[in-house]
Structure 1
Amino acid sequence: MLGRSANGIFWLFRYLERAENTARLIEAGFRMALTRDSKDASDEWRSVVITLGQQAAFEAKHGTDYTGPHVFNFVLRDKDNPGAVLAMVEQARSSARSVRTGITREVWETVNDTWMILREMLARPITETRLGDVLDTIRRQSTQLRGALEGTMLRNEIYNFARLGTFIERADNTARILDVKYYVLLPSLSYVGSSLDNVQWENVLRSLAGERAYRWLNAGRMEAKGIAEFLILDGRFPRSLAYCYAKLQSNMAQLAREYGHEAASHEILRDTCTRLHTLSIESVLEQGLHQFIADFIAVNTRLALEIQRDYRFIE
């Protein structure tokens, strides 16, 4: 497979996963902001922007005016924001067009429909009354795309590169949300273990679509340690770090069989999977959650870059 095609597939699914994750994060921020006073609501919206890595770009345009409409319009549709959802979907469509012969008609049509639907929905400023419909549409289109991929694509190298893009992006998103939780959402360390802390952890679960699963497994108990363990080490939850890396390992193993050899990226992945399998939540918290997450994000970024080198992606 040409490196250019592999690059197109990889980034097509990274962009689409990122768009869905952004929508989920905005929804969680909106829920929290509705229950807070104006200052605390501003802090919630600020945490959304920081998690997305868009603080500098946002403040260059809006200063520190972290109101809901400013944030969700900037993150979803602002033409000056290359990380906006609309821009990401446009980039995904461009990537899909470049690999049109490598994907099925159903996958292409879903990507193209997503772009046309969101282009129309995001053509004018979003109000709070319209926000729910926009976020529902992003999530629904993402679900349809996953269905098209799983239901129509051959399990070959194209499928494997698609999955690599999805799970590298998903792992990065989960890690960043966990990290921001301690350093932005809580006013100070004195709040750890308080009722506010528990509400914030519930918000983390909502932004990762894990609230119902966690409550089902834990009889409704909200405990910071248990939630951290669930999101980092529970291989049953499809947005946990352990689950994402198990899937990456499976798809990388299939690529190794197709190409007849392993490369440096396989070694990075194997080391990270071994570490996740042998870790306990106690050792994570003893090391420090922030330090653990910072190390994980660095390794995840390194893995993505190494995959691009190993398989000769062309930018």
Structure 2
Amino acid sequence: MLSRTADHLFWMARYTERAENTARMLDANYQLSLLPQSDEYASLGWRAMLSISELVDHFAAMHPSMASRDVIAFMSSDSTNLSSIVSCLRAARENARAVRGAITTDLWETLNTTWLEALRRLADGVLEMDPAEFFEWVKFRSHLSRGVQAGTMLKDDAFHFMRIGTFLERADNTARILDVKYEMLEQCRAANAPAPAPSLDYYHWAAVLRSVSGFEAYRKLYRDVVTPERVADLLILNGDWPRSLAASLDEVCQIVARVRNGRCAPAETMAAQLREHVYTSHIDDILNGGLHTWLTDFLVRVNELASCISRDFLVPLAPPSEFAAQQAA
């Protein structure tokens, strides 16, 4: 497969997954904002979400305050924000259009319809009337696109590069969703704000679980009250739960092995090392060393892995002499 085609398929899948996970983060924060709490604490929640997405400065340049309606609009429909839902859906559609012949008609029509329907819903004012309904719709369309992909495409290289993009993006975003809570606590301490009431803390962690569709799995596994330690254990270490970091890296390692080429040894090694790092970690050690620190390191490493996969598979191959010179540099 041409590396240019693989690149478009990889990013088509990443942007689709990113739109879904942005909707998940927004939905969790929106549901929490409906609970009784101080305006200061609610504002810290929105700021933490923007901080994890590295968008605080961009947002502050456009809005004087951290109002929930402004953050929702910025992360949902603002085309100047390249991480907004509408920007991600547009990018997914444009990448699909660029390689129209490499995907099925069913998948193209699903992505194209999602983009057009998103514009219509936003123009109709869905964010003002019922933002939660829009977030659920985005999640549903992402599930639909993956189902169509699995149900209509050959299990060839095109399919595999889409899957690599999906699971790398999922690992990155699951880590960010989990880290939002800890970023929020850090901002509370920095602002000398009072800690949340225990009841609000429970609802926050329950909202985190629901935002990643993990509440039922949590109840089935632990059959107990929701605690931060067990939420982190499920989202990071449980390889049987499909949105965990461990499960995502399992998929990445398996797929990279299927599409290996003569230059992919660094990517295979890096993926195996990161998977081993997750599987040999223990939740008590992670928490004792600081969950935010562990997640920050993981985000750095998973993005280094994505860059390595891009170099090994997705960019045009350089002549051997030129590639050797690049490696030496």
Fold-level similarity (TM above 0.5): yes
Give the alignment partner of residue 211 of structure 1, picking from 209, 212, 215. 215
Deviation of the 1:241 alpha carbon: 0.5
> Which digits, 9 at most, give the CA deviation of each residue in 1:205-254, with x for residues without a partner?
12222112112211142121111111110011111100100111111111
User: How far apart in 2 are the matches of 1:193 and 1:94?
Assistant: 46
Shift of the 213–160 alpha-carbon distance from structure 1 to 2, 3 Å rule, reads same
CA RMSD after TM alignment: 2.0
Partner of 2:39: 38
SS in 1 for 2:134: helix
2:249 counterpart of 1:248: no
User: Separation in 2 of the partners of 1:284 and 1:48?
Assistant: 22
Alpha-carbon distance between aligned partners in 2 of 1:21 and 1:199, rounded to the nearest angstrom: 20
Deviations 1:158-183 (A, max 9, x none): 11110111111111111112222112
> 8 Å contact 2:77–2:122 — kept in the other structure?
yes
SS in 1 for 2:61: helix
Q: How does 1:227-306 map to 2 (within 5 A)?
A: 227-256=231-260, 259=261, 262-306=264-308
**Larger displacement relative to structure 2 (128-137 or 52-61):** 128-137
CA distance in 1, matches of 2:216, 2:130: 25
| Aligned position for 1:134 | 134
**Residue of structure 1 equivalent to 2:84:** 84
Mark the CA change 1:239 to 1:72 in structure 2 (over 3 Å): closer, same or farther: same
Deviations 1:186-221 (Å, cap 9, x if unpaired)? 634995994443332222212222112112211142
Residues of 2 paired with 1:185 and 1:113: CA distance?
40
Following the alignment from structure 2 to structure 1, what is the Cα–Cα distance between the partners of residues 300 and 291?
Answer: 14
**What residue in structure 1 maps to residue 167 of structure 2?**
167
Counterpart for residue 153 of structure 2: 153
Question: 1:178-217 alignment to 2 at 5 Å?
Answer: 178-185=178-185, 187-188=188-189, 191=195, 194-217=198-221
The answer to whether the 8 Å contact 1:185/1:200 transfers is no
Moved more, 41-50 or 192-201: 192-201
1:75 CA displacement: 0.8
In structure 1, C-alpha distance between the alignment counterparts of 2:277 and 2:43, rounded to whole Å: 38
Q: In structure 2, what is the Cα distance between the partners aligned to 1:192 and 1:134?
A: 28
Q: Give unpaired runs (5+ residues) of structure 1.
A: none
Other-structure match for 2:19: 19
Unpaired runs of 5+ in structure 2? 317-329
Task: Output the TM-score relative to the length of structure 2.
Answer: 0.88
What residue in structure 1 maps to residue 106 of structure 2?
A: 106
Alignment-derived partner of residue 60 in structure 1: 61
Matches within 5 A, 1:112-123: 112-123=112-123
How many matched pairs? 311
Q: Classify the secondary structure of the residue corresponding to 1:62.
A: coil
In the alignment, is the contact (CA less than 8 A) between 1:191 and 1:197 conserved in 2? Answer: no
Contact 1:8–1:95, Cα closer than 8 Å, also in 2: yes
> In structure 2, what residue type is equivalent to 1:61?
M
The percent of aligned pairs where both chains have the same amino acid is 36
* Higher mean C-alpha deviation, range 232-241 or range 132-141: 132-141
SS of 1:61's partner is: coil
Give TM-score, length-normalised by structure 1: 0.92
